[in-house]
Copies of this chain bind each other. A is one copy, B any other.
Amino acid sequence: MAGMTMPRRRPGRPRREETRQTREVVLAAATELFARRGFDAVGLREVAAAAGVDVATVSHHTGTKAQLYDACFGRVFAAERGALEEATARARTALEAGPGEALRALHELVDVFVDFLEDRPETTALWLRRWLEPQRHAELDERYAAPLYRLVAELLTAAAATGALAEPTPHVTVRSLVWAVHGHVVALAAGGGSQARERREFRAFVHRFLDGLYGS
């Protein structure tokens, strides 16, 4: 987003759409900066420069730096929830069609998540920074990560209840899978080897992982 500038505003009250767009540009720039350099190293002035607006505009749209940081996680979460809720709902429906369909729907769910993180590597960086200071900003977990973890863990619990699979510790499985995907995103970022092949191999791995845990 660096260098992007907002269209010059005509005098008068900003239209709602313009306000929404400005907020989005600020959040995208801030997310990239926080992901790259961490909460402490980034200032509102820098966010403003990267977004092509002035500091007052940043403060107006997102408040303090802590509120801006929170809003960045909120934006990532909203996108992630949008992607996952649909696939989770399909998997819930598939449970009624039997174990085979349920497993296929889980493959699809994990593919959606892998696609999401591959397309937005800043999400991985943002969470890695969060996890490096487990006690700090801990409320971000409860507000943004936990609901998504629960969404998938509850799906696995529901699947276990139908007898489609056995899953004694859904939260451990979901967390481990999430971390495996972050590891994949980091390996892609480090480069080396064929990216296309890495992507294919990782998808095949997570499918084998699910088949191993849940396949009959």
Contact = CB atoms under 8 A, between A and B. Distances in A.
Interface residues of A, number: 38
Interface in A177-194: 177-180, 182-184, 186-187, 189-191
Contact of A169 (B38, B177, B179, B205): B205
Contact of A131 (B38, B128, B168, B169): B128
Interface of A: 38, 125, 128-129, 131-132, 134-135, 138, 141, 168-169, 172-173, 175-180, 182-184, 186-187, 189-191, 201-202, 204-205, 208-209, 211-213, 215
A205 B128 contact: no
A183 B190 contact: no
A176 B172 contact: no
Contacts of A180: 175-177, 179-180
- What's the number of copies of this chain in the assembled complex? 2
30 contacts: A128-B128, A128-B131, A128-B132, A132-B132, A134-B186, A134-B190, A134-B191, A168-B201, A168-B204, A169-B204, A169-B205, A172-B184, A172-B202, A172-B205, A173-B205, A175-B180, A175-B183, A176-B180, A176-B184, A176-B205, A177-B180, A178-B183, A179-B180, A179-B182, A179-B183, A208-B213, A209-B209, A209-B213, A211-B212, A212-B212
A187 B178 CA distance: 13
